[in-house]
A and B are shown apart, each in its own frame.
Chain A
Amino acid sequence: MTKFIDLTLNGISTGAIYAAVALALVLIWRATRILNFAQGAMLMVTTFIASGVITATGSYWLGFASALLAGLILGAVVERVLIRRVESGPPLNAVIVALGLYTLLVAIAGMIWGNTPRSFPSAFSIRGFKVGGTRLLFSPNDLFIVLVVIGVALALAVLFRGTSLGLQMRAAAFQPEIAQLLGVRVGRMFTLGWALAAMVGALAGVLVAPSVFLGPNNFDPILIIGFVAAVMGGLESPPGAVVGGLVLGLALSYVSGYEGSALVPLAALAILVLVLLVRPTGLFSATRERRV
């Protein structure tokens, strides 16, 4: 029973990370209809920046803030400099450019910081809470992760549903030309979408770095599962990304706890295929994509 509780709690905290990564991918998909394969490398770079700031200043929170700021800037720059040129082209070209950017960023990080993974501090204690004499597999830091991700998801929901800016972003993504005619600065909305997404990604990077360590390729497994979570939830839907992340986090935690970690990729495949066979555009897709 303790094992089940531990696996559940562990699933929730890893699921929150998957959800954050999935949110970043969903934001970019909604803004520009591009699968951002470079997301993993982008959040890796911002986490390295955070690590540098923490080492230099000794303050975790300064590093945390600098990662978010770096993410915001990096996302905007990537969209303006690279993605803008392939946005209107064939969709696979954008995928290849994103893969190229991923490779380039990984290589640059390896050149600057080396390929040996290093440790990364956590915001709060990683010793589990003590309940009735047993220590749970859920620490104050895990609680922090879950709360932050819930907070980000709520903030995004408020942004998209309750503000004029969010409405403009949705309009720009839905019908770029009509939105432009109505006075929405479509290009600026795309840049903002990328910047926001990269900031959410940067947040995920800082949150997960203490447990996976910080290295050029250390975030890849998280990104793959986050991608699966985004697809499972429906790429259109931020709530879908959160639910997809949590479901995958829990399911994979049980599989790895009871059946061994070797089965985790197979379990992810099985869950995704089951979901997609029932709902070919993900759990939370409201509208079917129209082909004109």
Chain B
Amino acid sequence: MSRLALSPRLRQITLLRSLGLVLGGGVVLWLLSDLLGAYDDLQLANGAYYFAVLAGLTMLVGLSGQISLGHGALMAVGAYTVALLIGNEHWALVPALVASAVVTALVGIPVGATASRLRGPYLAGATLAFAIGLPALADKFPATFGGENGLIINPPIPPTWLGASFPLERWEAWIACAGALIVLFVLYNLIHSGLGRTLRAVRDDEIAASLCGLRVGRTQTLAFIVSAGCAGLGGGLLAVVLQLADPGAFPLQLSLALLTGVVLGGLGSLAGAIWGAAVLVLLPSWTNDLAHSFSLSTNVSANLPLAIYGLVLIGAMLAWPSGIQGGVRALAHRVHSLRSRPAASSPTQ
């Protein structure tokens, strides 16, 4: 495949930067997981696997310009892979998680090849049908996939050198964060590589890109496969954290929430994926607490979190059309220009 090549020097800088990001992020997450209690550690784990999925999806939607309403189903593929390998084949955790990414990426090949032929709403429709169609397989083959009840996974056991009293939730958070950091490393390098530029070229103008010798269909398929791999790893981590893979965990709403997360966070940006993951994890629990802090009738308090979620989606999209990260960028720009204005205007005085 012809790609827009980068100089070796630039490639080295990208690699160093991404390593720095991963190390810095790792230290922050390590300190954070130490500070948090059991419940918040679990939330951290949830946020970490959401980030893995959202990062892959934001690369697909934001960089390659393809929409997917089917990433929840891809997460299900990863989750069931992990559950089957650990439960039936007694694989260790790490190879099972690697397998979840690989298997889902393989599933992503035919889906991505189909997707690269479709555009806009037609792609949305096809991936939506994928999101509702695939989990139905679990019902069709209950002997393998456990039907409605799903498959239960034994909880991951923290290694003995961490001490006997090391909480399970913190260990789960570490596992999920490690997965998220690997996704961050891979995608950061990919976005800043020749492939990342190829993707943007294809997104902005397919005809011009193909006239430049870029293979549009193949590039889009590749983006889908990488994105599927991330979603598979995220799904595998979800199964490990929840210790369960069941069809109820992957409804259409999950796929829609994932799309919401990437658009709300800021399309195409890995920082936006962090915002998106934070929103997906924190907003429901905050709104739940808020709804139960008032004494309201059951009908109202049961639906208040949902109403707030809807209002936040509408309000955020109207306030920040380019997502939270876009809003942050605009704010930083404003602060920057405010600070530089006195210096710029002083010579005239």
Chain A interface residues (CB < 8 Å from chain B) = 29, 35, 37, 82, 85-86, 89-93, 95-97, 99-108, 110-112, 114-115, 224, 227-228, 230-232, 235, 262-266, 268-270, 272-273, 276-277, 280-282, 289, 291
Within 8 A of A (CB), among B46-90: 61, 67
| B204-223 Cβ-contact flags toward A at 8 Å (1 or 0) | 01110000000000000000
Chain B contacts with A in 83-119, Cβ cutoff 8 A: 114, 117-119
On chain A, the residues within 8 Å of B194 by CB distance are: none
Do the beta carbons of B139 and A99 come within 8 Å of each other? no
Contacts of B61 in A (CB 8 A): 92
Name 25 interchain pairs, CB-CB below 8 A, sorted by A.
A82-B314, A91-B120, A92-B263, A93-B317, A97-B314, A99-B256, A100-B313, A104-B306, A104-B310, A105-B310, A106-B306, A107-B304, A110-B306, A112-B299, A224-B128, A230-B125, A231-B124, A235-B121, A235-B122, A262-B136, A268-B129, A272-B125, A276-B122, A276-B126, A291-B205
- In the assembled complex, the Cα of A78 lies from the Cα of B132 at a distance in Å of 28
3 closest cross-chain pairs (CB), A and B: A100-B313, A231-B125, A104-B310
Contacts of B313 in A (CB 8 A): 96-97, 99-100, 103
Q: Are A35 and B124 in contact (CB under 8 A)?
A: yes
A280 touches B129 (CB 8 A): no
CB <8 Å contact, A262 and B263: no
Interface residues of B in 249-306 (CB under 8 A from A): 252, 256, 259-260, 263-264, 267, 299-300, 302-306
Contact in complex: B119, A101 (CB < 8 Å): no
**Pair A269/B206 contact, Cβ less than 8 Å:** no
- Expressed in whole angstroms, the Cα–Cα distance for A97 and B310 within the complex equals 8
A272–B309 alpha-carbon span in the complex (Å): 31
Chain A residues lying within 8 Å of B122, measured Cβ to Cβ, are 231, 235, 276, 280-282
Nearest chain B residue, comparing its CB with the CB of A217: B253
In the assembled complex, the Cα of A82 lies from the Cα of B135 at a distance in Å of 34
In the complex, besides A100-B310, A104-B307, A264-B136, 13 extra interface pairs with C-beta distance below 8 angstroms are A89-B321, A91-B120, A93-B321, A97-B314, A99-B313, A100-B311, A104-B306, A104-B314, A105-B310, A108-B307, A112-B299, A235-B121, A276-B117
Q: Which residues from B are CB-within-8-Å of A273?
A: 114, 126, 129
Q: How far is the CA of A215 from the CA of B82 in the complex (A)?
A: 36
| Complex CA distance for A110 and B304, rounded to whole angstroms | 9
Q: Which B residue sits closest to A235, measured CB to CB?
A: B121
A111: contacting residue among B118, B124, B300, CB under 8 A: B300
Residues of A within 8 A of B135 (CB): 265
Looking at the assembled complex, report how far the CB atom of A16 sits from the nearest CB atom of chain B, in whole angstroms. Answer: 20
B329 proximal to A (CB < 8 A):
no
Given contacts A104-B311, A107-B307, A269-B133, contact A96 B302 (CB under 8 A): no
Report B170-196 CB contacts with A as 1/0, cut-off 8 Å: 000000000000000000000000000
Judged by a CB distance under 8 angstroms, whether B331 is at the interface is no
| B303 and A224 form a contact (CB under 8 A) | no
- B157 lies within 8 A of chain A by Cβ: no
Interface centre among B119, B128, B304, B321 (most CB of A within 10 A): B128
Confirm or deny: B17 has a beta carbon within 8 angstroms of a beta carbon on chain A. Answer: no
Q: Is the CB of B129 within 8 A of A269?
A: yes
- A224-B132 in contact (CB<8A): yes
A269 surroundings in chain B (CB, below 8 A): 129-130, 132-134
Task: State whether B314 touches A100 (Cβ < 8 A).
Answer: yes
User: Beyond A91-B120, A272-B129, is A97–B299 a contact (Cβ under 8 Å)?
Assistant: no
Distance of A108 from chain B, by nearest CB (Å): 6
Known: A35-B121, A35-B124, A93-B321. A266 touches B133 (CB 8 A): yes
Cβ-based interface call for B318 (8 A): yes
Chain A residues whose CB sits within 8 angstroms of the CB of B206 once the complex forms: 291
What 1/0 flags go to B224-255 for Cβ under 8 Å of A?
A: 00000000000000000000000000001000
The answer to whether residues A92 and B303 also contact, given A103-B309, A227-B125 and a CB cut-off of 8 A, is no
The complex places the Cα of A266 from the Cα of B131 at a distance, in Å, of 10
A29-B121, A102-B310, A110-B306 given as contacts; is B252 within 8 A of A224 (CB)? yes
